[in-house]
Every structure is written in structure tokens, then in C-alpha cells.
Amino acid sequence: MTIKLTQDIVLFRGMILIPIFDSKWDISKSLNIALPIPEIFSGKKDQLYFVQDSNTGNTLAFLGLGDQANFSIVKTVFRRLAAKHRELFGMDLLLLAPKALLPYFYEAAVSGLLLGTYQLGHFKDGGNLKPHPLLQNTLYLAESDKSFLIQAQKGEKLALAQLEAMKMVDLPPNKATPAFLSQWASDCGMKFGIEVEVLGRKAAEKEGLAAFIAVGKGSDREPQFIIMKYRPKTKKGKPRHIGLVGKGVTFDTGGLNIKTAGMVHMKCDMGGAAAVLGAMQLIADLKFPHSVTAIIPCVENAIDSHAFLPSEVINSYSGKTIEIIDTDAEGRLILADGLSYLIDKFKPETILDFATLTGSSVSTFGYTCGALFTNNEPLSKTLQESGMEIGEKVWPLPLWDDYSPDIESDIADVKNYSGKPLAGAITAAKFLEFFTEKHESWAHMDIAGVAFGDSEFAKTKHATGFGVHLIAKFVENL
């Protein structure tokens, strides 16, 4: 899709996208057309009305944004338009903007339109599905100010990164393997100027990443410990150094504590890795002035004669020993080594980790928001505000020391699971905290309920791309 500015809106021919906010935006003077009568279209949220202009032949698409429009609402409205009315997009588009929403409108609308081109049928018709017709056409913005073009292009880059993350999660586990993710990271690094290093099994063993190695022992797919370093060429203001860690379990059988339900969806257990990988692409594409180092430990938790056992005691990069109570509490093991390695080798000022970690977080928040854990109140506030701004919500749960006894072990320094069917998300976060060396600016996001699920855009559960924008918005707001 090509994006351009234009002032020749009277001469435009194609489809005109006319979002109506608060039922008060009068476009009749600019286009010499009248709004539909309120009985047909009033601008209420989710209303959609099409009509053909008999004078010009243009297709007019009126989109209702309601009276409480925000970034998330605008994005969803335009995604719905592109996803559910594909047949109308075989022509150029002209996008008009409600003046009250200009600070973010074009970014949200363009990202929504491009997200609406996503197709789950990656392996239908020999993998040769016809691309969405929108991608072949030009989108004109009815503006003369180049700042709006920059805003729209930012929305395009956002969507492209989210689409990559969504595809990673939606691909089947025989395709989206640890090797696939490491190759994706290497290709991304080449394209966007990110330094990438990948540690395979032998290199990881040499580095002492014992907990990471233990999880992948039952699979013949080689684990991949991905290290990505984005360093800005130009530094504005006060550059910061942010560390990211993303859980990359490409498929989770549960190990010898095998899952008894829901295993068919466990290709999504690398949703945290996808969020971090997509965010790294976006951060580099937008050329943010801050340094970002990402660790993405990728493994498959499978079962064979080499699989790690319940009651084993394993080592970790930190030197701390771990008693294995449950092999299905594996994500926190690879995150523990990822956090320890990041802190030891790179010493970032702030650390964020993202993981589809516990069903407990889903029981608490459902599919509305992710669970946020941090003892740093300013960091918590910034993450909450960033999420609310873009519709990727996170909400805090406590990290009180009252929960520390649940991960105390008699035989090792710590155990990986409390063994209790309660406070699962909190005790998992306490386990991770044990490996942060009391870092003063660390936050853990459990995104099990928001990285993969049901929506109006597919018949089956699918990826959401959650976390990509949240990470980028957090870094942007520094």
C-alpha cells in the first residue's frame, strides 16, 4: 500500500472513508455531499454505511466512531472494514479525519486497515492466497501537512511489526520452531540494523544456561537463545538502555507432567517471544533514540527419554539451583536464565519480560488485560498508562513477600512451582523475581489471556499481536 497526501479531494475517484465522531463532524462543504439521515446512520460506534455518489461514482464509506473514540476504537473500526469488506478495496482510497482525533487518528486508522489484510490461511491453496486488494492500491490522506503523512507511515510500520508477531504465533509448531524464530531474528537484524547473536545447544551449555537447556532436553529441535542488540545511530535527549525478555516455548506439551487439556493451542506459548521480536523490528524501524537489548530463549517442551523429570534439581545461569516440582512450569525456567543473562551481560536500566505464563492470570483478568508485576511504582504507572493509551491493557497484581514461602525448597535454592492451585500468576512472578538480582526497575507481564484468543476476525483462536505496541509505546514515552 502506498500512502500519499492530497488536497484534490473534489477530483478524487475511488472509495472515500468518512469516519464520523460524536455525530458532529460536517463534511458537506469539503465534499459537496450530505451526511446520511440519522435514522440510517448517526455515527454510533460500530455503525457502517455504504453509498455510491451518483455524481462522481465514488463509493462513500461512513464509519461510526461513537462519542468516546480512542486509539483502540479507531483501529478496530478500520480493521473491521478491511477484513469484512475485502471486495470493496479494488480501488484507491481517500481518508478523511475528524479534527478532534488528529493527534493519533492516522496512525490508528492505517494500522487498523493493514491489520485487516491479515489472513489465517497460511497453508491454503498451496500457500498462495491472493493478497488483500488494499495492498495494491494508494491511500490518500486529505491533508497538506507532512506531519500527518509521518503519522500514517508510523501506523504502517506498527501494523507490519504486529503482523509479523501474529504470523509467528499462528504458524503451526512444525513451522514456527526455535530455528525458525532465530532465522527470523537474523533476517530482521540484517534488514533493520540490529545486531543478532544466536546460541545453540552447545554454546548455551558453555555459557552455563542450564535451566534453559533443561527445558529443551526432551525435544530433537535444537534450542535457540537469541540475543538482539539495537543501538541508535543518533541519540536525542537522555538515551536509556532497556532490556527485554520474551518467553519462546514454541510448543508446550507440559513435559512429563503432560497437559490433559488445551494442548492443541500450545503453539501460542511463544507469544511473549513474538511480542519482543515484533517490538524489536518496530523500535528499529522507527529509529528510537534509546538502546534496547532483547533476550528471546526459544525451546520446545517435548517428551522423550531425555526429558527433565519432576523432582530433579537443575542448575541455572545465576548459579542458583532449582527443584523441579512440575515440568509444565517450564516457561519461568527459560525466563530465569534469560533475565540473569541479560542483567549480568548487559546491565540495562529497565527490564520488561513478556510471557504467556499462567492460566492463573486468565482466571483473574479473563481476556481483557495482562497481569503486571513490579515493585517499581513509576514503572507500573508508565506501563499502565501506555497500555491504556493504545488499548493493550495491563493491570497490577502484588509481589508481596507473603508469597515467597510458596517457592521455597528444602533441597534447592528455589522450586519452580508451589504445588498449590492458587495464586499461580503471583508465585510464578515471585520465582522470576528471585533471578532479577533485586533489580530496581523490572516488570513482568503475564499475557496468557491476551496474546491468543477468540475475536470477530477468525473462526478459531488466533494471535492478537499483543505486546508489540505496548513495548514500543513504553520506549517511545521514556
For residue 348, is it left (φ>0), alpha (ψ between -120 and 50) or beta?
beta
Among candidate residues 45, 175, 259, 345, the one labeled active-site is: 259
459 among known catalytic residues: no
CA separation for the pair 383, 361 (Å, rounded): 17
- For residue 265, the SS3 value is helix
- For residue 287, the SS3 value is coil
What are 386's three cell numbers?
501506555
Order of strands across the sheet that contains 15-20:
2-5, 138-141, 93-95, 15-20, 59-64, 48-52
Distance separating the N- and C-terminal Cα atoms of the chain: 31
- For residue 440, the SS3 value is coil
For residue 349, is it left (φ>0), alpha (ψ between -120 and 50) or beta?
alpha
Question: Shortest CA distance to 450 belongs to which of 331, 369, 358?
Answer: 369
DSSP 80-149: HHHHH-GGG-SS-EEE---GGGTTTHHHHHHHHHHHTT--S-TTGGGG-PPPPGGGGSEEEES---HHHH
CB atoms within 10 A of CB 39: 6
Q: Burial of 304 by CB count in 10 Å (0-12 exposed, 13-18 middle, 19+ buried)?
A: exposed
Among candidate residues 332, 393, 430, 473, the one labeled active-site is: 332
CA separation for the pair 208, 318 (Å, rounded): 9
| Residues facing 197 on adjacent strands | 227
Question: Shortest CA distance to 146 belongs to which of 266, 3, 253?
Answer: 3
4 among known catalytic residues: no
215 CB-near residues (< 8 Å, 6+ apart)? 223, 249, 255, 299, 301, 308, 330, 333, 334
Axis-axis angle for helices 271-285, 146-170 (nearest 10): 150
Which residues are part of the catalytic machinery?
259, 332
